[in-house]
């Protein structure tokens, strides 16, 4: 049975972010539990990247699985324009209860990219509705906000976006705040707001961690500086917490931990605990109010077929309930283990710029800083053979495990990395 399925996959499936020219046959995953995936060959694989950063409490968590099954048997889907339902109303209330103050209106979509698209459209149309011409978005160098066109436009230009360069809209680009303490970012933002402040609709940031752009950690002080300056200029601040939300950086939300209240926040990935696709763009009441008008042209004309899918909302509610004190304790343990293990690893000459933020640890391999660099892929293949799922971003190696991961599990992952380093000197 196994070879047939792989053959079907080989013949008919087009995988994401995969060069099929020389991609090895993928593991055929048959089940998952806690921090582990199990494949058809009977292998157990530690999911050290939470399956593209989505799995929060662990795979197949029984509380979420039960909530999903219960909801699916009652109401699986209903159009969300002109209709509502209990899981969406309860989830909106629950999110508003845990998000930084001021965020009060939840717009549901499907994933991180759509949450960002909605945020950008909200910001641009907000100003239009107020009769001000503010067509400019500002974004950070090394940003990653998703793969749809608006999200790609706000993201750094690079190998992911190159084929579409002519179709992307220009944004004002601010220096990477992870370099040089963030002073250059704030100075550039000040200059932009001085010169073109009346044109800036919004500044979009990944708070405290530029994720897919290289797991670059930056200071809360800089984030507060960005908030102060955008507030003073009247520009909106969009916090893309698609990766950092739901405890990844330690506190429930990176903005909350930094004491920053954005105008719009994007959520996805961990929102459902990693069970189902769901996005949410949460706005302040003033933003929402600007769309409310007898003039129907001021409607936010955006929606997706599965907007606020009841099963996904039920998964998210169950996942939020698990984000409790015990989860916070597990996250602290993961952070402490990262710090201890990474400090050891950092003595290796190939390990550069070790960094930890909450449950995420990263370092650079001393290879060319390029997403297409083969060094990271070699480490990924080496680790997979030894039962650990890692997926370096070019030469950037990171661990981003589910919160149920034990210290022993994590130590095993670090041992595999150490073995790779000792067997493949630069
Ligand atoms: C910060 C951030 N925003 C948006 C996205 C896009 O999310 P999705 O892949 O669910 O479209 C990602 C995905 O990695 C992300 O890290």
pLDDT in tens, 27-76: 999 999 999 999 999 999 999 999 999 999 999 999 999 999 999 999 99
Tens digit of each residue's pLDDT (9 = 90 or more) over 315-356: 999 999 999 999 999 999 999 999 999 999 999 999 999 999
Give yes or no for residue 1 having a pLDDT over 70. Answer: no
Pairing of strands 264-267, 236-240: parallel
Tens digit of each residue's pLDDT (9 = 90 or more) over 247-260: 999 999 999 999 99
Instruction: Indicate the SS3 state at residue 75.
Output: coil
CB atoms under 10 Å from CB of 417, counted, come to 27
pLDDT the model gives residue 214: 97
* Lookup result for tokens 């539990």: 33
Determine the distance separating the centroid of ligand 1 and the alpha carbon of 104, expressed in angstroms: 22
Instruction: Indicate the SS3 state at residue 90.
Output: helix
Which residue has better confidence, 373 or 386? Answer: 386
CB of 204 closer than 6 angstroms to any ligand 1 atom = no
CB of 212 closer than 6 angstroms to any ligand 1 atom = yes
CA-to-CA distance for 198 and 46, rounded, in angstroms?
A: 50
Given phi > 0 = left and psi -120 to 50 = alpha, else beta, which region is 60? left
Tens digit of each residue's pLDDT (9 = 90 or more) over 136-189: 999 999 999 999 999 999 999 999 999 999 999 999 999 999 999 999 999 999
* Ligand 1: nearest atom to the Cα of 112: 7
Determine the distance separating the centroid of ligand 1 and the alpha carbon of 112, expressed in angstroms: 4
The dihedral built from the CA positions of residue 7, 10, 11 and 15, taken in this order, carries a sign that is positive
The pLDDT confidence band at residue 3, using thresholds 50, 70 and 90, is low
Give yes or no for residue 373 having a pLDDT over 90. Answer: no
pTM of the full structure: 0.98
End-to-end CA distance of the chain: 41
**Are 95 and 101 a contacting pair, CB within 8 Å?**
no
The residue contributing the CA closest to ligand 1 atom 10 is 112
pLDDT the model gives residue 424: 80
pLDDT the model gives residue 368: 79
CB of 243 closer than 6 angstroms to any ligand 1 atom = yes
The pLDDT confidence band at residue 301, using thresholds 50, 70 and 90, is very high
The pLDDT confidence band at residue 262, using thresholds 50, 70 and 90, is very high
DSSP state of 199: G
CA-to-CA distance for 244 and 306, rounded, in angstroms?
A: 24
CA-to-CA distance for 221 and 296, rounded, in angstroms?
A: 41
Tell me the DSSP string of 251-313: SSSHHHHHT---SEEEE-GGGGTTSS--EEEEEEHHHHHTT--SSGGGS-----TTTT-HHHH
Determine the distance separating the centroid of ligand 1 and the alpha carbon of 146, expressed in angstroms: 5
Average pLDDT (78-94) is: 98
CB of 278 closer than 6 angstroms to any ligand 1 atom = no
Select which of 144, 306, 398, 414 is catalytic: 144
> Residues of the chain with pLDDT > 90: what percent?
96
CB of 145 closer than 6 angstroms to any ligand 1 atom = yes
pLDDT the model gives residue 370: 83
Determine the distance separating the centroid of ligand 1 and the alpha carbon of 97, expressed in angstroms: 23
Tens digit of each residue's pLDDT (9 = 90 or more) over 65-78: 999 999 999 999 99
CB of 268 closer than 6 angstroms to any ligand 1 atom = yes
**Are 211 and 221 a contacting pair, CB within 8 Å?**
no
The question of whether 269 is a catalytic residue gets the answer yes
**Are 269 and 256 a contacting pair, CB within 8 Å?**
no
Determine the distance separating the centroid of ligand 1 and the alpha carbon of 119, expressed in angstroms: 13
Tell me the DSSP string of 114-163: HHHHHHHHHHHHHHHHTT----EEEEETT----SSHHHHHHSPPSTTTGG
pLDDT the model gives residue 139: 98
Tens digit of each residue's pLDDT (9 = 90 or more) over 158-172: 999 999 999 999 999
* Ligand 1: nearest atom to the Cα of 211: 16
Instruction: Indicate the SS3 state at residue 44.
Output: strand
Determine the distance separating the centroid of ligand 1 and the alpha carbon of 260, expressed in angstroms: 21
CA angle 316, 318, 324 (to 5 degrees): 105
Cβ contacts of residue 98 below 8 Å, gap of 6+? 252, 253, 320, 323
The residue contributing the CA closest to ligand 1 atom 9 is 112
* Angle in degrees, 0-180, between the axes of helices 62-74 and 310-321, rounded to the nearest 10: 150
Tens digit of each residue's pLDDT (9 = 90 or more) over 198-248: 999 999 999 999 999 999 999 999 999 999 999 999 999 999 999 999 999
Select which of 240, 263, 364, 409 is catalytic: 240
CB of 112 closer than 6 angstroms to any ligand 1 atom = yes
CA-to-CA distance for 388 and 20, rounded, in angstroms?
A: 22
CB of 139 closer than 6 angstroms to any ligand 1 atom = no
Select which of 4, 17, 22, 295 is catalytic: 17
Give yes or no for residue 103 having a pLDDT over 70. Answer: yes
């Amino acid at each position: 049975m196994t070879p047939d399925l792989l053959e079907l996959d080989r013949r008919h499936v087009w995988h994401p972010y995969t060069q099929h020219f020389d991609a090895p046959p993928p593991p055929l995953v048959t089940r998952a539990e806690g921090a582990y995936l199990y494949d058809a060959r009977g292998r157990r694989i530690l999911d050290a990247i939470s399956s593209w950063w989505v799995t929060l409490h662990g795979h197949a968590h029984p509380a979420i699985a039960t909530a999903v099954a219960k909801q699916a048997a009652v109401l699986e889907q209903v159009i969300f324009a002109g209709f509502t339902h209990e899981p969406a109303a309860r989830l909106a209330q629950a999110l508003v209860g845990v998000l930084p103050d001021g965020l009060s209106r939840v717009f549901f979509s499907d994933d991180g990219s759509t949450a960002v698209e909605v945020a950008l459209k909200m910001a641009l149309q907000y100003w239009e509705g107020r009769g001000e011409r503010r067509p400019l978005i500002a974004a950070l160098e090394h940003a990653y906000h998703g793969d749809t066109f608006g999200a790609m436009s706000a993201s750094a230009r690079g190998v992911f976006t190159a084929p579409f360069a002519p179709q992307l809209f220009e944004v004002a680009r601010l220096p990477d705040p992870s370099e040089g303490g963030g002073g250059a970012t704030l100075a550039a933002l000040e200059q932009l707001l001085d010169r073109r402040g009346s044109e800036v609709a919004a500044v979009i940031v990944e708070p405290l961690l530029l994720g897919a752009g290289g797991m670059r950690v930056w200071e809360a002080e800089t984030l507060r500086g960005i908030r102060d300056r955008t507030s003073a200029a009247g520009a909106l601040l969009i916090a893309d917490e698609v990766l950092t939300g739901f405890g990844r950086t330690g506190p429930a939300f990176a903005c909350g931990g930094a004491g920053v209240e954005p105008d719009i926040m994007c959520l996805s990935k961990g929102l459902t605990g990693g069970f189902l696709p769901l996005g949410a763009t949460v706005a302040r009441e003033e933003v929402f109010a600007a769309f409310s008008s007898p003039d129907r042209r001021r409607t936010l004309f955006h929606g997706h077929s599965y907007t606020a899918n009841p099963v996904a909302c039920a998964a998210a509610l169950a996942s939020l309930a698990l984000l409790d004190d015990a989860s916070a304790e597990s996250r602290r343990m993961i952070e402490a283990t990262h710090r201890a293990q990474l400090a050891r690893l950092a003595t290796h000459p190939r390990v550069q710029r070790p960094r930890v933020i909450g449950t995420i640890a990263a370092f650079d391999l001393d290879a060319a800083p390029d997403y297409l660099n083969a060094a990271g892929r070699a480490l990924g293949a080496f680790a997979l053979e030894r039962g650990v799922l890692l997926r370096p971003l070019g030469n950037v190696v990171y661990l981003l495990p589910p919160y149920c991961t034990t210290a022993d599990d994590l130590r095993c992952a670090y041992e595999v990395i150490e073995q790779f380093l000792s067997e493949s000197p630069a």
